[in-house]
Structure 1
Protein backbone atom coordinates (compact mmCIF):
# COMPACT_ATOMS: atom_id res chain seq x y z
CA UNK A 1 0.00 0.00 0.00
CA UNK A 2 2.92 2.40 0.68
CA UNK A 3 4.07 2.13 -2.95
CA UNK A 4 0.57 3.01 -4.12
CA UNK A 5 0.48 5.95 -1.67
CA UNK A 6 3.72 7.43 -3.02
CA UNK A 7 2.55 7.11 -6.62
CA UNK A 8 -0.89 8.65 -5.98
CA UNK A 9 0.59 11.51 -3.97
CA UNK A 10 3.04 12.27 -6.79
CA UNK A 11 0.23 12.40 -9.34
CA UNK A 12 -1.93 14.49 -7.04
CA UNK A 13 0.92 16.98 -6.66
CA UNK A 14 0.86 17.86 -10.37
CA UNK A 15 -1.54 20.73 -9.80
CA UNK A 16 -0.91 22.27 -13.22
CA UNK A 17 -2.76 19.40 -14.90
CA UNK A 18 -6.56 19.24 -15.05
CA UNK A 19 -8.22 16.53 -13.01
CA UNK A 20 -9.04 14.41 -16.05
CA UNK A 21 -5.43 14.43 -17.23
CA UNK A 22 -4.34 13.34 -13.77
CA UNK A 23 -6.77 10.42 -13.92
CA UNK A 24 -5.52 9.38 -17.37
CA UNK A 25 -1.87 9.58 -16.29
CA UNK A 26 -2.69 7.64 -13.13
CA UNK A 27 -4.47 4.85 -15.01
CA UNK A 28 -1.70 4.60 -17.62
CA UNK A 29 1.30 4.62 -15.29
CA UNK A 30 0.06 2.86 -12.16
CA UNK A 31 1.07 -0.80 -12.35
CA UNK A 32 0.80 -1.55 -8.62
CA UNK A 33 -1.21 -4.58 -7.49
CA UNK A 34 -5.01 -4.09 -7.24
CA UNK A 35 -6.34 -2.94 -3.88
CA UNK A 36 -9.28 -5.39 -3.94
CA UNK A 37 -11.52 -7.43 -6.20
CA UNK A 38 -15.29 -7.27 -6.67
CA UNK A 39 -17.37 -10.38 -7.33
CA UNK A 40 -21.06 -10.46 -8.30
CA UNK A 41 -23.15 -13.54 -7.52
CA UNK A 42 -26.84 -14.48 -7.57
CA UNK A 43 -28.86 -16.72 -5.28
CA UNK A 44 -29.39 -19.24 -8.13
CA UNK A 45 -27.84 -19.99 -11.49
CA UNK A 46 -31.09 -20.69 -13.36
CA UNK A 47 -34.42 -18.80 -13.30
CA UNK A 48 -37.80 -19.01 -14.97
CA UNK A 49 -39.41 -15.92 -16.53
CA UNK A 50 -41.03 -13.83 -13.78
CA UNK A 51 -38.76 -15.12 -10.99
CA UNK A 52 -37.06 -12.86 -8.46
CA UNK A 53 -33.27 -12.64 -8.53
CA UNK A 54 -31.19 -11.80 -5.47
CA UNK A 55 -27.89 -10.13 -6.44
CA UNK A 56 -24.95 -10.04 -4.04
CA UNK A 57 -21.87 -7.80 -4.33
CA UNK A 58 -18.78 -9.18 -2.60
CA UNK A 59 -15.48 -7.42 -1.82
CA UNK A 60 -12.42 -9.62 -1.36
CA UNK A 61 -8.68 -10.06 -2.03
CA UNK A 62 -7.62 -6.88 -0.23
CA UNK A 63 -3.98 -5.84 -0.33
CA UNK A 64 -1.92 -6.74 2.76
CA UNK A 65 -1.90 -4.09 5.51
CA UNK A 66 -4.77 -2.21 3.84
CA UNK A 67 -6.01 0.52 6.21
CA UNK A 68 -9.56 0.54 4.87
CA UNK A 69 -11.64 3.06 2.94
CA UNK A 70 -13.66 6.19 3.57
CA UNK A 71 -15.78 5.92 0.38
CA UNK A 72 -16.81 3.22 -2.12
CA UNK A 73 -18.75 3.68 -5.37
CA UNK A 74 -19.54 0.77 -7.70
CA UNK A 75 -21.94 0.38 -10.63
CA UNK A 76 -23.51 -3.06 -11.13
CA UNK A 77 -24.77 -3.47 -14.70
CA UNK A 78 -27.61 -5.61 -16.03
CA UNK A 79 -29.55 -5.99 -19.28
CA UNK A 80 -32.90 -4.21 -19.02
CA UNK A 81 -34.30 -6.40 -21.82
CA UNK A 82 -34.00 -9.37 -19.45
CA UNK A 83 -34.43 -7.90 -15.94
CA UNK A 84 -36.37 -5.09 -14.31
CA UNK A 85 -36.74 -3.69 -10.79
CA UNK A 86 -39.77 -1.41 -11.02
CA UNK A 87 -41.52 -3.13 -8.12
CA UNK A 88 -38.48 -2.61 -5.87
CA UNK A 89 -37.80 1.05 -6.64
CA UNK A 90 -39.53 4.41 -6.34
CA UNK A 91 -38.36 7.02 -8.84
CA UNK A 92 -35.42 4.70 -9.62
CA UNK A 93 -34.32 4.52 -5.95
CA UNK A 94 -34.47 1.18 -4.14
CA UNK A 95 -36.96 1.17 -1.29
CA UNK A 96 -35.99 -0.15 2.13
CA UNK A 97 -36.59 -3.87 2.38
CA UNK A 98 -35.55 -4.42 -1.25
CA UNK A 99 -31.85 -4.08 -0.55
CA UNK A 100 -29.62 -4.88 2.42
CA UNK A 101 -26.34 -3.22 3.34
CA UNK A 102 -23.63 -5.69 4.36
CA UNK A 103 -22.87 -6.31 8.02
CA UNK A 104 -19.58 -4.37 7.83
CA UNK A 105 -21.29 -1.14 6.68
CA UNK A 106 -24.85 -1.27 8.06
CA UNK A 107 -24.17 0.80 11.20
CA UNK A 108 -26.00 4.12 10.63
CA UNK A 109 -23.81 5.92 13.15
CA UNK A 110 -20.60 4.92 11.40
CA UNK A 111 -21.56 4.77 7.71
CA UNK A 112 -23.81 6.56 5.26
CA UNK A 113 -25.04 3.76 2.99
CA UNK A 114 -27.10 5.39 0.26
CA UNK A 115 -30.11 3.60 -1.17
CA UNK A 116 -29.02 2.03 -4.49
CA UNK A 117 -30.09 4.04 -7.54
CA UNK A 118 -30.92 2.62 -10.96
CA UNK A 119 -29.85 4.58 -14.02
CA UNK A 120 -28.95 4.32 -17.69
CA UNK A 121 -25.35 3.65 -18.65
CA UNK A 122 -24.04 3.74 -22.18
CA UNK A 123 -21.32 1.26 -23.08
CA UNK A 124 -20.62 1.43 -26.79
CA UNK A 125 -23.89 1.09 -28.69
CA UNK A 126 -25.63 -1.14 -26.16
CA UNK A 127 -28.20 1.19 -24.66
CA UNK A 128 -30.24 -1.60 -23.03
CA UNK A 129 -27.67 -1.83 -20.22
CA UNK A 130 -28.59 -0.22 -16.94
CA UNK A 131 -26.57 0.18 -13.78
CA UNK A 132 -27.27 0.01 -10.05
CA UNK A 133 -25.26 2.77 -8.35
CA UNK A 134 -23.88 1.58 -4.98
CA UNK A 135 -22.33 4.21 -2.66
CA UNK A 136 -21.23 4.07 0.96
CA UNK A 137 -19.18 6.60 2.92
CA UNK A 138 -17.71 6.63 6.41
CA UNK A 139 -19.45 9.21 8.60
CA UNK A 140 -16.23 10.65 10.04
CA UNK A 141 -12.48 10.53 9.73
CA UNK A 142 -12.39 8.18 12.71
CA UNK A 143 -14.39 5.50 10.86
CA UNK A 144 -13.23 3.29 7.99
CA UNK A 145 -14.90 0.73 5.77
CA UNK A 146 -12.77 -2.25 6.76
CA UNK A 147 -10.56 -3.99 4.21
CA UNK A 148 -11.92 -7.47 4.95
CA UNK A 149 -13.79 -9.97 2.81
CA UNK A 150 -17.43 -8.91 2.95
CA UNK A 151 -20.77 -8.81 1.16
CA UNK A 152 -21.21 -5.09 0.54
CA UNK A 153 -24.86 -5.14 -0.53
CA UNK A 154 -27.71 -7.42 -1.59
CA UNK A 155 -30.50 -6.19 -3.89
CA UNK A 156 -33.38 -7.52 -6.01
CA UNK A 157 -34.08 -7.82 -9.72
CA UNK A 158 -36.81 -9.76 -11.51
CA UNK A 159 -36.63 -11.72 -14.76
CA UNK A 160 -39.18 -10.24 -17.15
CA UNK A 161 -42.29 -12.35 -17.67
CA UNK A 162 -41.97 -12.70 -21.45
CA UNK A 163 -38.24 -13.48 -21.50
CA UNK A 164 -37.43 -16.49 -23.67
CA UNK A 165 -34.70 -19.01 -22.91
CA UNK A 166 -31.57 -16.91 -22.70
CA UNK A 167 -28.17 -16.51 -21.05
CA UNK A 168 -27.39 -13.13 -19.48
CA UNK A 169 -24.87 -11.65 -17.06
CA UNK A 170 -24.85 -9.24 -14.12
CA UNK A 171 -21.45 -7.64 -13.61
CA UNK A 172 -19.35 -4.78 -12.31
CA UNK A 173 -19.07 -1.83 -14.74
CA UNK A 174 -15.53 -1.26 -13.53
CA UNK A 175 -14.88 1.81 -15.67
CA UNK A 176 -17.18 3.71 -13.29
CA UNK A 177 -15.52 2.48 -10.08
CA UNK A 178 -14.39 5.14 -7.60
CA UNK A 179 -13.04 4.43 -4.11
CA UNK A 180 -11.27 6.62 -1.56
CA UNK A 181 -8.63 5.35 0.83
CA UNK A 182 -8.62 6.26 4.49
CA UNK A 183 -5.10 6.88 5.76
CA UNK A 184 -5.33 10.01 7.88
CA UNK A 185 -3.89 12.96 5.93
CA UNK A 186 -3.01 10.79 2.93
CA UNK A 187 -6.52 10.02 1.70
CA UNK A 188 -6.91 9.94 -2.09
CA UNK A 189 -9.07 8.42 -4.80
CA UNK A 190 -8.42 5.16 -6.61
CA UNK A 191 -10.11 4.18 -9.87
CA UNK A 192 -10.80 1.09 -11.95
CA UNK A 193 -7.14 0.01 -12.46
CA UNK A 194 -6.92 -0.48 -8.70
CA UNK A 195 -9.89 -2.89 -8.57
CA UNK A 196 -10.16 -6.33 -10.17
CA UNK A 197 -13.57 -7.16 -11.62
CA UNK A 198 -14.06 -10.90 -11.17
CA UNK A 199 -16.04 -12.97 -13.66
CA UNK A 200 -19.65 -11.77 -13.95
CA UNK A 201 -22.60 -13.68 -12.55
CA UNK A 202 -24.03 -15.73 -15.44
CA UNK A 203 -27.79 -16.15 -15.26
CA UNK A 204 -29.58 -18.78 -17.35
CA UNK A 205 -33.23 -18.14 -18.20
CA UNK A 206 -35.22 -21.29 -18.94
CA UNK A 207 -38.49 -21.49 -20.83
CA UNK A 208 -41.43 -22.21 -18.54
CA UNK A 209 -43.14 -25.48 -19.53
CA UNK A 210 -46.42 -24.89 -21.35
CA UNK A 211 -49.55 -26.43 -19.85
CA UNK A 212 -52.41 -27.64 -22.03
CA UNK A 213 -55.91 -26.42 -21.15
CA UNK A 214 -57.24 -29.92 -21.90
CA UNK A 215 -56.85 -32.95 -19.69
CA UNK A 216 -54.92 -35.73 -21.39
CA UNK A 217 -57.51 -38.30 -20.34
CA UNK A 218 -60.60 -36.39 -21.49
CA UNK A 219 -62.63 -37.13 -24.61
CA UNK A 220 -63.12 -33.85 -26.40
CA UNK A 221 -65.87 -35.38 -28.59
CA UNK A 222 -67.97 -36.53 -25.64
CA UNK A 223 -71.44 -34.99 -25.53
CA UNK A 224 -72.57 -33.59 -22.21
Structure 2
Protein backbone atom coordinates (compact mmCIF):
# COMPACT_ATOMS: atom_id res chain seq x y z
CA UNK A 1 0.00 0.00 0.00
CA UNK A 2 2.93 2.41 0.65
CA UNK A 3 3.98 2.21 -3.02
CA UNK A 4 0.44 3.02 -4.03
CA UNK A 5 0.31 6.07 -1.73
CA UNK A 6 3.70 7.31 -3.02
CA UNK A 7 2.50 7.15 -6.61
CA UNK A 8 -0.70 8.99 -5.82
CA UNK A 9 1.18 11.76 -3.99
CA UNK A 10 3.45 12.19 -7.03
CA UNK A 11 0.46 13.06 -9.21
CA UNK A 12 -1.31 15.21 -6.61
CA UNK A 13 -2.89 18.24 -8.19
CA UNK A 14 -3.34 16.74 -11.64
CA UNK A 15 -6.84 17.44 -12.94
CA UNK A 16 -7.69 14.36 -14.98
CA UNK A 17 -10.83 12.35 -15.36
CA UNK A 18 -11.12 9.24 -13.13
CA UNK A 19 -11.01 6.97 -16.19
CA UNK A 20 -7.78 8.56 -17.43
CA UNK A 21 -6.32 8.33 -13.94
CA UNK A 22 -7.25 4.66 -13.89
CA UNK A 23 -5.40 4.09 -17.18
CA UNK A 24 -2.31 5.88 -15.88
CA UNK A 25 -2.36 3.87 -12.68
CA UNK A 26 -2.82 0.56 -14.45
CA UNK A 27 0.12 1.19 -16.77
CA UNK A 28 2.41 2.59 -14.07
CA UNK A 29 1.50 0.36 -11.16
CA UNK A 30 0.79 -3.05 -12.61
CA UNK A 31 3.34 -4.67 -10.29
CA UNK A 32 1.81 -3.49 -7.02
CA UNK A 33 -0.07 -5.84 -4.73
CA UNK A 34 -3.87 -5.81 -4.97
CA UNK A 35 -5.65 -3.51 -2.52
CA UNK A 36 -8.00 -6.27 -1.34
CA UNK A 37 -9.87 -9.41 -2.34
CA UNK A 38 -13.54 -9.23 -3.30
CA UNK A 39 -15.91 -12.19 -3.23
CA UNK A 40 -19.57 -12.51 -4.23
CA UNK A 41 -21.37 -15.43 -2.60
CA UNK A 42 -24.93 -16.75 -2.28
CA UNK A 43 -26.61 -18.43 0.67
CA UNK A 44 -26.96 -21.71 -1.26
CA UNK A 45 -25.54 -23.42 -4.31
CA UNK A 46 -28.78 -24.93 -5.65
CA UNK A 47 -32.19 -23.25 -6.09
CA UNK A 48 -35.52 -24.09 -7.65
CA UNK A 49 -37.58 -21.76 -9.89
CA UNK A 50 -39.29 -19.06 -7.83
CA UNK A 51 -36.89 -19.40 -4.89
CA UNK A 52 -35.30 -16.41 -3.15
CA UNK A 53 -31.52 -15.92 -3.37
CA UNK A 54 -29.47 -14.03 -0.76
CA UNK A 55 -26.38 -12.38 -2.27
CA UNK A 56 -23.41 -11.17 -0.18
CA UNK A 57 -20.49 -8.93 -1.18
CA UNK A 58 -17.47 -9.78 0.98
CA UNK A 59 -14.14 -7.90 1.26
CA UNK A 60 -10.95 -9.34 2.76
CA UNK A 61 -7.15 -9.61 2.49
CA UNK A 62 -6.35 -5.96 3.19
CA UNK A 63 -2.74 -5.00 3.87
CA UNK A 64 -1.86 -4.70 7.56
CA UNK A 65 -0.93 -1.00 7.16
CA UNK A 66 -3.94 -0.06 5.02
CA UNK A 67 -5.35 3.27 6.29
CA UNK A 68 -8.87 2.60 5.10
CA UNK A 69 -11.07 4.14 2.43
CA UNK A 70 -13.42 7.06 1.93
CA UNK A 71 -15.43 5.58 -0.95
CA UNK A 72 -16.36 2.17 -2.40
CA UNK A 73 -18.25 1.51 -5.64
CA UNK A 74 -18.81 -2.08 -6.77
CA UNK A 75 -21.21 -3.52 -9.34
CA UNK A 76 -22.53 -7.07 -8.97
CA UNK A 77 -23.75 -8.54 -12.25
CA UNK A 78 -26.46 -11.14 -12.81
CA UNK A 79 -28.36 -12.62 -15.75
CA UNK A 80 -31.84 -11.09 -15.96
CA UNK A 81 -33.06 -14.13 -17.92
CA UNK A 82 -32.53 -16.21 -14.76
CA UNK A 83 -33.08 -13.78 -11.84
CA UNK A 84 -35.20 -10.73 -11.05
CA UNK A 85 -35.68 -8.35 -8.09
CA UNK A 86 -38.97 -6.64 -8.93
CA UNK A 87 -40.49 -7.28 -5.51
CA UNK A 88 -37.46 -5.77 -3.71
CA UNK A 89 -37.08 -2.57 -5.71
CA UNK A 90 -39.06 0.54 -6.56
CA UNK A 91 -38.10 2.28 -9.79
CA UNK A 92 -35.02 0.01 -9.93
CA UNK A 93 -33.83 1.09 -6.45
CA UNK A 94 -33.77 -1.36 -3.55
CA UNK A 95 -36.13 -0.25 -0.80
CA UNK A 96 -34.80 0.13 2.74
CA UNK A 97 -36.16 -3.19 3.98
CA UNK A 98 -34.67 -5.25 1.17
CA UNK A 99 -30.94 -4.75 1.57
CA UNK A 100 -28.58 -4.66 4.56
CA UNK A 101 -25.40 -2.63 4.85
CA UNK A 102 -22.53 -4.43 6.57
CA UNK A 103 -21.68 -3.88 10.22
CA UNK A 104 -18.61 -1.78 9.38
CA UNK A 105 -20.54 0.76 7.30
CA UNK A 106 -24.08 0.85 8.69
CA UNK A 107 -23.57 3.86 10.98
CA UNK A 108 -25.63 6.64 9.37
CA UNK A 109 -23.62 9.35 11.13
CA UNK A 110 -20.31 8.09 9.75
CA UNK A 111 -21.22 6.66 6.34
CA UNK A 112 -23.58 7.40 3.48
CA UNK A 113 -24.64 3.99 2.16
CA UNK A 114 -26.77 4.57 -0.91
CA UNK A 115 -29.63 2.19 -1.63
CA UNK A 116 -28.40 -0.30 -4.25
CA UNK A 117 -29.56 0.53 -7.77
CA UNK A 118 -30.31 -2.01 -10.51
CA UNK A 119 -29.34 -0.99 -14.02
CA UNK A 120 -28.36 -2.36 -17.41
CA UNK A 121 -24.70 -3.03 -18.10
CA UNK A 122 -23.41 -3.84 -21.54
CA UNK A 123 -20.59 -6.37 -21.66
CA UNK A 124 -19.96 -7.33 -25.27
CA UNK A 125 -23.23 -8.29 -26.93
CA UNK A 126 -24.89 -9.81 -23.85
CA UNK A 127 -27.58 -7.27 -23.03
CA UNK A 128 -29.39 -9.61 -20.62
CA UNK A 129 -26.78 -8.85 -17.94
CA UNK A 130 -27.78 -6.34 -15.28
CA UNK A 131 -25.75 -4.84 -12.46
CA UNK A 132 -26.50 -3.96 -8.86
CA UNK A 133 -24.66 -0.69 -8.15
CA UNK A 134 -23.25 -0.60 -4.58
CA UNK A 135 -21.90 2.73 -3.27
CA UNK A 136 -20.82 3.79 0.21
CA UNK A 137 -18.93 6.93 1.23
CA UNK A 138 -17.50 8.25 4.48
CA UNK A 139 -19.51 11.25 5.63
CA UNK A 140 -16.44 13.31 6.53
CA UNK A 141 -12.66 13.30 6.50
CA UNK A 142 -12.70 12.26 10.13
CA UNK A 143 -14.12 8.85 9.19
CA UNK A 144 -12.93 6.06 6.95
CA UNK A 145 -14.25 2.70 5.87
CA UNK A 146 -11.97 0.34 7.81
CA UNK A 147 -9.69 -2.00 5.90
CA UNK A 148 -10.85 -5.12 7.72
CA UNK A 149 -12.59 -8.31 6.59
CA UNK A 150 -16.24 -7.40 6.16
CA UNK A 151 -19.52 -8.16 4.44
CA UNK A 152 -20.18 -4.86 2.69
CA UNK A 153 -23.79 -5.55 1.71
CA UNK A 154 -26.46 -8.24 1.54
CA UNK A 155 -29.42 -8.12 -0.87
CA UNK A 156 -32.01 -10.37 -2.53
CA UNK A 157 -32.71 -11.76 -5.98
CA UNK A 158 -35.32 -14.31 -7.01
CA UNK A 159 -35.06 -17.13 -9.53
CA UNK A 160 -37.65 -16.60 -12.26
CA UNK A 161 -40.60 -18.98 -12.11
CA UNK A 162 -40.17 -20.35 -15.63
CA UNK A 163 -36.42 -20.89 -15.44
CA UNK A 164 -35.33 -24.25 -16.79
CA UNK A 165 -32.68 -26.43 -15.17
CA UNK A 166 -29.41 -24.61 -15.73
CA UNK A 167 -26.49 -22.88 -14.02
CA UNK A 168 -25.68 -19.19 -13.77
CA UNK A 169 -23.15 -16.92 -12.08
CA UNK A 170 -23.61 -13.86 -9.87
CA UNK A 171 -20.28 -12.05 -9.89
CA UNK A 172 -18.33 -8.80 -9.59
CA UNK A 173 -18.12 -6.66 -12.74
CA UNK A 174 -14.64 -5.52 -11.76
CA UNK A 175 -14.11 -3.21 -14.71
CA UNK A 176 -16.56 -0.82 -13.03
CA UNK A 177 -14.90 -0.88 -9.59
CA UNK A 178 -14.05 2.55 -8.14
CA UNK A 179 -12.38 3.16 -4.79
CA UNK A 180 -11.02 6.25 -3.02
CA UNK A 181 -8.39 5.94 -0.35
CA UNK A 182 -8.40 7.72 3.00
CA UNK A 183 -5.22 9.28 4.35
CA UNK A 184 -4.29 11.56 7.21
CA UNK A 185 -5.21 15.20 6.71
CA UNK A 186 -7.09 16.18 3.58
CA UNK A 187 -5.47 13.97 0.93
CA UNK A 188 -8.01 11.95 -1.07
CA UNK A 189 -7.32 10.18 -4.32
CA UNK A 190 -9.70 8.51 -6.75
CA UNK A 191 -8.52 5.41 -8.58
CA UNK A 192 -9.73 2.14 -10.03
CA UNK A 193 -7.62 -0.35 -8.11
CA UNK A 194 -6.48 -3.81 -8.91
CA UNK A 195 -8.42 -6.17 -6.69
CA UNK A 196 -8.21 -9.92 -6.42
CA UNK A 197 -11.58 -11.23 -7.55
CA UNK A 198 -12.41 -14.55 -5.89
CA UNK A 199 -14.13 -16.67 -8.58
CA UNK A 200 -17.78 -17.17 -7.58
CA UNK A 201 -19.30 -20.62 -7.35
CA UNK A 202 -21.94 -21.36 -10.02
CA UNK A 203 -25.57 -21.09 -8.99
CA UNK A 204 -27.50 -24.17 -10.09
CA UNK A 205 -31.21 -24.12 -10.92
CA UNK A 206 -33.02 -27.45 -10.64
CA UNK A 207 -36.61 -28.33 -11.36
CA UNK A 208 -38.89 -29.09 -8.44
CA UNK A 209 -39.39 -32.83 -8.04
CA UNK A 210 -42.65 -33.96 -9.59
CA UNK A 211 -45.29 -35.51 -7.32
CA UNK A 212 -46.91 -38.68 -8.58
CA UNK A 213 -50.71 -38.87 -8.36
CA UNK A 214 -50.62 -42.67 -8.57
CA UNK A 215 -51.83 -44.44 -5.45
CA UNK A 216 -50.77 -48.02 -4.88
CA UNK A 217 -54.02 -48.68 -2.96
CA UNK A 218 -56.31 -48.23 -5.97
CA UNK A 219 -56.48 -49.27 -9.60
CA UNK A 220 -58.36 -47.58 -12.37
CA UNK A 221 -59.00 -50.88 -14.16
CA UNK A 222 -59.83 -53.82 -11.86
CA UNK A 223 -58.66 -57.23 -13.01
CA UNK A 224 -61.04 -59.34 -15.07
CA UNK A 225 -62.83 -62.18 -13.30
**1:155 correspondence with 2:155:** yes
Aligned length: 220
Task: Find the aligned partners of 1:72 and 1:20 in 2 and give their Cα distance.
Answer: 16
Distance 1:109 1:32, change over 3 A: same
Deviations 1:85-104 (A, max 9, x none): 00110000011221100000
Q: 1:200 Cα deviation (Å)?
A: 1.6
Q: Deviations over 1:34-53 (max 9, x none)?
A: 11111111111111111100
TM-score scaled by structure 1? 0.92
Task: Give the Cα–Cα distance (whole angstroms) in 1 for the partners of residues 69 and 95 of structure 2.
Answer: 26
Q: What does residue range 82-101 of structure 1 map to in structure 2 within 5 Å?
A: 82-101=82-101
Q: Aligned partners of 1:142, 1:117: CA distance in 2, in Å?
A: 27
Q: What residue ranges of structure 1 are gaps of 5+ in the alignment? A: none
Shift of the 215–192 alpha-carbon distance from structure 1 to 2, 3 Å rule, reads farther
Partner of 2:210: 210
CA-based RMSD: 1.7
* 8 Å contact from structure 1 (residues 11, 22) kept in 2: no
Alignment match, 2:187: 186
1:12 deviates by 4.7
TM-score, reference length from structure 2 = 0.91
Cα shift at 1:69: 0.6
| Mapping 1:5-84, distance limit 5 Å | 5-15=5-15, 20-30=19-29, 31-84=31-84
> Take 2:17 and 2:154, find their aligned partners in 1: how far apart are those partners?
37
Partner deviation per Cα, 1:184-211 (whole Å, 9 max, x = no partner): 3331122142x21111242111111122
